[in-house]
Structure 1
Amino acid sequence: MTSKKNIKSIFESILFVWGEPLDVKIAADLFDMHWKEAYDCFKELQQEYEVQDRGIRIREIDKSFQLCTKEENNVYIERLCTPVKEKRLSQSALEVLAIIAYKQPVTKGEIESIRGIKCDRVIEGLMKKDLIIETGRSAAIGRPILYGTTKEFLRYFGFTSMKELPDIDDIESIIREQEPNHLDFQQIAIEFEKN
């Protein structure tokens, strides 16, 4: 039988090699253990990194774990690495993403009724960026596709789970701090209530 210390050591190695968020259930299956037991090992490992104030951290993303750097060290990492220009999401992409995040699962028709304009290309772009996925089909006439956010959405915005999504009342001030051309999320909230 493998000791808890060895299991945590193996999980640490796996996280390093895996790169992407590793689902707890996949890790648990390696040892034929219950997912909750594996989850507790990851949480202990995460705590050990934080207590030791290590430059590497373990972050949780929707019952998955991933190695990442300590946030305070990012300025030095950026100095070392050649800056890669990251293309920001367009205003329309942010609007559609906000609607999907707060109303999911949601159909393209519902998104378009809130925005008042077509969004085929925006949805296609968000899917290519792996920020949204098809989550099934609605029971409505024509059985339209339902959309929802992905783990990549959580990673991109730095959330552990959808529970961390700001309240619709708080989001406008958050966006104003981050984006010079902010969305009118209050208007989106009003449209949600109408529909």
Structure 2
Amino acid sequence: MHHAYGRREVLRGIDIDLRAGVLVGIVGENGAGKSSLLKILSGELRPQRGTVNHRGRFGYCPQDAVLNDALTVRQHLEFFKTAFALADLRHAEGIMEALRFAEYADERAGLLSGGTRQKLNLTLALMHDPEVLLLDEPYQGFDWDTYQRFWDLAARLRAAGRSVLVVSHLAYDAERLDELWRLDAGVLHPNTAVTA
């Protein structure tokens, strides 16, 4: 796929296949086009050339949490439960327990810390148990304990056969990944330090 902003071409022939049961990382400098790539993969942005094919449900966790500050955590979950046509919130509650923020269920989003807002952002992306998960800087604002819990959760998703794509500007914990790619000059380059 290809995409440009005016004359600035940020994606130049990206071809990526997210296989089931893999944990993939894409790194690149700020402005390299990582967020644009995820927006295209999620359907939020249309590529100027190329196509995107999805198999099954997907979840998208954008870099900036899109929350209503007036609503509580529980109200966000209820809203997304209706949007996803879910029978209950058991899966969401399990994620909240894993990320250790269940006690904030009745707190308004506007009063949450940045890290806790990001936990809610991640929970909303995961609560419908997607087969493909697209994560843009998902651990931004996390403390060390939550950061470790995030990777444990990502490993469990991979073990359950999910495809997980994590985008970041730095290659943290590269050994946890099955594949690591570098986005540079609009092209994906394999990182030879990590092999599938």
What interval of TM-score do these two structures reach, taking the shorter chain for normalisation? under 0.3
TM-score by length of 2: 0.27
TM-score by length of 1: 0.27
Larger radius of gyration: 1
**Structure of greater relative contact order (alpha carbons < 8 Å, 6+ residues apart):** 2
Greater per-residue helix proportion:
1
Greater per-residue strand proportion:
2
